[in-house]
Structure 1
Amino acid sequence: MDERLISADSHVKLTHAQVKDHLPARLHEAYDDAAGAYEQRMSRGTGAANRAGAEQAAKRSDKGIASDNSVFGRAGYWDPAERLKDMDLDGVDAEVLYSEVSAFRYLSDVKDGVAETVQAFNDTLHDFASADPQRLIVSYQIPIHDIELAVAEVDRVAARGAKSLQLPVFPSELGQADYYDDRYDPLFAKIQDTGLPICFHIGLKTTLDDLARRDPTPNKGVMVPMTPLMTGEAFGMLIMGGVLEKFPGLKVVFVEPGVAWVGWWLEVVDDMATRQRYKFPAISELPSTYFRRNINLTFIDEHLGLHRMRDIIGVDNLMWSTDFPHPVTSWPNSRKIVDEQFVGIPADEREKIVCGNAARIWGL
């Protein structure tokens, strides 16, 4: 029990009522309209992939349990005091937390109250963390529709002691330019100055809609494994698009992208830049250089990536997580599962992956 475990990816459930508690009454109706329209898009209006995701989310609500190993019904999902007890039971010292709701998909739609609504949502996250800010590390969501507002919100949450920021993975899905566009320069400059990590939590990508429609399996088993692989697009935009060239001090975390395939991706893009002579005018080093310097990955239980690819990807770039309370979670047996996962891995590398890297990135 002397070993410290830090989960680089766990989840918290917020309610719209909690967010509205931080909003003036005049904005409640506008908030409900924006949130309701988003939920309608998720369930009916944006395609098969998002419908599949909405159906899965509905099954995982606190009204029921998705599968035998799901713990969505535990109070620790939404009650911070109970969460700390669940962490103690699991032997986990600290968790980096992500809201189940990608609120930056609808916060900008709240008429005449976007800034107040963004603040209200993040204040709700802050409330959860306030039970123990050293152990509950919430990732504050930063919408990207209005860069001036985004910069102001980074300043605001940083002043309140924020340790983690979350941005959308794919700006194009929100009708915005990709991250290599100069419009983001003030935001990335501000984040670099704060030293806070940018976290990108993967999710269903709308470009998978057609595949989800064609998938003949009941649970979208053809489409779902493709979801993490889409992260290669986001890697490329940040690296070959020149974002990490311009802002070398950024700390970037990709959450749940899978691990093993990333070793292949790094080999391919470096080969493109050298032997195949692809032109990447926005960067001056090999793509893998920026990856290993700036990008970190979380994983849950992935033997191939951990045992065969960790040296290729970089031991300093990998972080373990419980993914509490999703069905794949290692709770409440994380210490046992970690021991099983790390058989044969040197102790110094294990220490980095289960706690050291996360402690460095989030300043824990």
Structure 2
Amino acid sequence: MSAQDTTEDRYTVISADCHAGADLLDYKPYLESRHHDAFDAWAATYVNPYEDLLADTADRNWNSERRLAELEADGIVAEVVFPNTIPPFFPSASLMAPAPTREEFEQRWAGLRAHNRWLADFCAAAPGRRAGVFQILLNDVDLAVEEIRRSVKAGLTGGVMLPGTPPGSGLPELYSSAYDPIWAACAELGVPVNHHAGSASPPLGEEPAARAVFMVETTWFSHRALWHLVFGGAFRRHPELKLVLTEQGSGWIPGVLDMLDYYHGRLVAAATKADTAESKFGAGLADSMGRGPSQVWRENCFVGASFMRPHEAALRDRIGLDKIMWGSDYPHDEGTHPYSREGLRLTYAGLPRDEIAAMVGGNAARVYGFDLDRLGEIAARVGPTVRELDEPLKEAPADATSPVFAQGGSVRIW
């Protein structure tokens, strides 16, 4: 009997998308001592560009007790923890910034390792309730593999945060076999490769339209990881590899899989006809890929469906019920906190109980290695009840900031 059964009338909710990081100066003890003087100089002049990391609520990123209390009040018993605050020596987000000089590259690698060490301690402060996602850079694959092995050994079970390779990065594209050692290490160690929205967009400049264009394009640039790894044959060479696409929506998946299947079939067929103009585009594709895109999705891929919308839940059979992992995006403004229960009602009310249980916790437990029996004991105290989530939400909370509550939030975007 599973924990979901023993809690009787409550769901075990695991957020597959939360964010955390240390307060800036608290990273110093996690740096190698040879970087301490450089860190002091950097930190003395650093100006944080993010308002939410300067607000009085910023400690939600590192205050373990506050975090546990707020998540429990929101009905959540465990979380997958993506990075949020700025690690040492980075100008802003750390997801892809290749350093302009060798010295800066070494410092930024040291900064990411400091974050990963801090994260291991942060996760250990709540045993069994946090799956920490550790960071790497792609400039040096050997260093990346070394950090993957060290992080898993340190107890981080959330897998690797895969940076993007946007236009202009100077890095090989994600379909390149140069990254095979990374895929091999993650497959061997049983941890997923996570690709989070916002981690692959190129810089867009400071024109007034830049932010709007970013919002339109950022999810598309993040989706690219799927077809890069599929067409690149990563899953043929490493059949145990798991890919998780997080905070990119989920309603786009059926249509994109149809498109990828179409191109796969078209190009593979064209490769058998040497006298056609298209034959060169499919040359070698069947051998390098193995299975088709939809089959790869069914066997290897998952979606971190942050603040999932009602129209996405309606597509659950086409996406794959066993692929969907709901996320609150705590502590971000676009997240569902402190109205996650209401967000869950809006999206899932009226659906079969076993299907809700899979999407709000069961799938994440399987992908990230959470113990549902152990978490069920906490859920029996704080989890949303079956009756609660069966009640349709008639009116959104007036001060809710998540897009899931926005008027027109069921429009089929992403």
Q: Per the shorter chain, which TM-score range? A: 0.7 to 0.9
Tell me how far 1:314 sits from its aligned partner.
Answer: 0.8
Tell me how far 1:165 sits from its aligned partner.
Answer: 2.2
Q: Does 1:347 align with 2:342?
A: no
- Number of the residue aligned with 1:200: 195
- Number of the residue aligned with 1:75: 59
Matching residue within 23, 29, 39 for 1:15? 23
> Which AA in structure 2 matches 1:340?
L
SS of alignment partner, residue 225 of structure 1: helix
Tell me how far 1:198 sits from its aligned partner.
Answer: 1.2
Tell me how far 1:167 sits from its aligned partner.
Answer: 2.9
SS of alignment partner, residue 298 of structure 1: strand
User: Does the 8 A contact of 1:6 with 1:94 survive in 2?
Assistant: yes
CA spacing shift, 1:311–1:208, aligned 2, 3 Å = farther
1:220-252: CA deviation from partner (whole Å, max 9, x where unpaired): 345413221223321111111111111110111
Counterparts of 1:267 and 1:111 in 2: how far apart (Å)?
A: 40
- Number of the residue aligned with 1:186: 181
Tell me how far 1:111 sits from its aligned partner.
Answer: 6.2
The runs of 5 or more residues in structure 2 that have no matched partner are 1-8, 87-92, 271-281, 371-414
Q: Does 1:90 align with 2:85?
A: no
Matching residue within 344, 348, 351 for 1:338? 344
Matching residue within 196, 204, 220 for 1:229? 220
Tell me how far 1:324 sits from its aligned partner.
Answer: 0.6
User: Does the 8 A contact of 2:145 with 2:182 survive in 1?
Assistant: yes
User: Does the 8 A contact of 1:79 with 1:128 survive in 2?
Assistant: no
Larger radius of gyration: 2
Tell me how far 1:261 sits from its aligned partner.
Answer: 1.5
Counterparts of 2:43 and 2:243 in 1: how far apart (Å)?
A: 28
- Number of the residue aligned with 1:356: 362
SS of alignment partner, residue 21 of structure 1: helix
User: Does the 8 A contact of 1:165 with 1:196 survive in 2?
Assistant: yes
Tell me how far 1:76 sits from its aligned partner.
Answer: 2.6
> Which AA in structure 2 matches 1:143?
L
Counterparts of 1:158 and 1:327 in 2: how far apart (Å)?
A: 30
User: Does the 8 A contact of 1:180 with 1:238 survive in 2?
Assistant: yes
CA spacing shift, 1:284–1:346, aligned 2, 3 Å = same
The TM-score with structure 2 as length reference comes to 0.73
Tell me how far 1:253 sits from its aligned partner.
Answer: 0.9
Q: Does 1:141 align with 2:135?
A: yes
SS of alignment partner, residue 8 of structure 1: strand
> Which AA in structure 2 matches 1:134?
G
User: Does the 8 A contact of 1:34 with 1:110 survive in 2?
Assistant: no
Equivalence map 1:32-43=2 (5 Å):
none
Equivalence map 1:1-364=2 (5 Å):
2-31=10-39, 58-63=50-55, 73=57, 75-100=59-84, 101=86, 102-103=93-94, 105=96, 110=104, 116-172=110-166, 174-203=169-198, 205-207=200-202, 209=204, 213=207, 215=209, 220-274=211-265, 277=269, 279=282, 280-281=285-286, 282-299=288-305, 300-307=307-314, 309-364=315-370
CA spacing shift, 1:136–1:177, aligned 2, 3 Å = same
Tell me how far 1:94 sits from its aligned partner.
Answer: 0.1
> Which AA in structure 1 matches 2:328?
T
The alignment covers a number of residue pairs equal to 335
Sequence identity percentage: 27
Counterparts of 1:246 and 1:36 in 2: how far apart (Å)?
A: 47
Counterparts of 1:318 and 1:214 in 2: how far apart (Å)?
A: 36
Counterparts of 1:205 and 1:116 in 2: how far apart (Å)?
A: 22
User: Does the 8 A contact of 1:80 with 1:131 survive in 2?
Assistant: yes
CA spacing shift, 1:111–1:318, aligned 2, 3 Å = closer
Counterparts of 2:109 and 2:224 in 1: how far apart (Å)?
A: 30
> Which AA in structure 2 matches 1:15?
D
CA RMSD of the aligned region, Å?
A: 2.8
Counterparts of 2:72 and 2:322 in 1: how far apart (Å)?
A: 26
CA spacing shift, 1:165–1:29, aligned 2, 3 Å = farther
Counterparts of 2:310 and 2:209 in 1: how far apart (Å)?
A: 27
Tell me how far 1:323 sits from its aligned partner.
Answer: 0.4
1:96-125: CA deviation from partner (whole Å, max 9, x where unpaired): 111114435459754666665443221111
1:66-97: CA deviation from partner (whole Å, max 9, x where unpaired): xxxxxxx1633320111111111111010111
User: Does the 8 A contact of 1:199 with 1:252 survive in 2?
Assistant: yes
1:260-299: CA deviation from partner (whole Å, max 9, x where unpaired): 1221111111122235746234212221111221111112
The TM-score with structure 1 as length reference comes to 0.82
CA spacing shift, 1:256–1:15, aligned 2, 3 Å = same
- Number of the residue aligned with 2:409: none
Counterparts of 1:116 and 1:204 in 2: how far apart (Å)?
A: 20
- Number of the residue aligned with 2:389: none
The runs of 5 or more residues in structure 1 that have no matched partner are 41-53, 65-72
CA spacing shift, 1:35–1:106, aligned 2, 3 Å = farther
Counterparts of 2:144 and 2:323 in 1: how far apart (Å)?
A: 27
User: Does the 8 A contact of 1:122 with 1:141 survive in 2?
Assistant: yes
Greater mean alpha carbon deviation, residues 73-82 or residues 296-305: 73-82
1:114-164: CA deviation from partner (whole Å, max 9, x where unpaired): 665443221111122121131122111122222222111122122122201
